[in-house]
Amino acid sequence: MSLLRVGLFVNKEKRGAFELLLELVEYFNKEKIAFLLEDSTARLIGQRGISISRFSEEVDLILVAGGDGTIIRIAHEIFPSPVPILGVNTGSLGFLTAVSREEILPQLPNILQGRFRKSPRMVLKAVGCAYGNNFEIPCSLNDIVLFRGAFSHMATIDVFAQGNLVTEFQSDGLVVSTPTGSTAYALSTGGPIIMPESEVFTLNPICPHTLTNRSLVFPEEVTLRFSIPLGGGPVRLEYDGIAYGDLHPGDWLEIEASPKKVILGFLEERNFFEILRRKLRWSGATVEE
């Protein structure tokens, strides 16, 4: 069996990432395994690399050392490429990373032979109009958020599903979340935890003024439209933690599931419930690791 062509990216801001890079490069050189380095990663060791956007054309797997934010960044860069992203956790929580810092070298022989689980993840895309200018967000892996930001007023947002009015939300904001994002910001709003490969997405109010407002779950074929009514005041827009700008009365946003997926890699023996127990510290009298 031929080995996978691997591209390496490390987040130099993460503690221990540089040392891990040296270990990985030493391993590949010692085993005479061809690999590619991303530009900024290559410069850490005085070499030349290629842009992350070119990885999708040159490699079969992108090995990323960092945290969840690093993986999301790489997903944005290569989207809509189907090349799997496999993360080595040098961050904190690490829901999207496949292996720990200590596990990666022992697991590399299996990974390089393609013995890992590919997990296709839903991505949200959005189009909208602000100040009379159209814009597009092609890829959001976790969530798209409309919220009041630094403004003191409550956010007022009209929401429509397939052209039908859902309701006028009055709250601190709304989180539209993928299954992947259900364990991110949406979780803190009281939203449900969703199996990561499910084909649904959620609408979660942030601190709603009406206590009967609860999270809604939509099938992937639904399109949601958000509009800011007159007198509603500005609302801030972010996707995957990236600030995009403000929406004002008369502006609108449409969100739907993209037909393209982001592919994440995980160890074959690791399942979602194990990750939940480890990362969220779920426990019970009869649950043992």
Task: Answer yes or no: is 60 a known binding residue.
Answer: no
Determine if residue 233 is labeled as part of a ligand binding site: no
Q: Tell me: is residue 172 an annotated ligand-binding position.
A: yes
Query: Is 143 annotated as contributing to ligand binding?
Result: yes
Q: Give the single-character DSSP code of 152.
A: S
The structure tokens 């540089």 sit at 18
**Residue 68 annotated as binding site:** yes
Catalytic, 251? Answer no
What one-character DSSP code corresponds to residue 55? H
Exposure string over 8-24, b if 16+ CB within 10 A, otherwise e: bbbbeebeebbebbeeb
**68, 158, 240, 251: the active-site residue:** 68
Whether 33 and 3 have beta carbons less than 8 Å apart is answered as: yes
Handedness of CA 56, 57, 62, 65 (dihedral sign): negative
What's the CA gap between 92 and 259, in Å, rounded? 31
Residue 183 assigned as binding residue: yes
On whether 153 is known to bind a ligand per the annotation, the reply is yes
> Binding site annotation covers 73?
yes
Ligand-binding site membership of 188 (annotated): yes
* Calpha distance 42→9 (Å, rounded): 9
Annotated binding site: 68-69, 73, 142-143, 153, 172, 183-188
Catalytic residues: 68
Annotated binding site for NAD(+): 68-69, 73, 142-143, 153, 172, 183-188
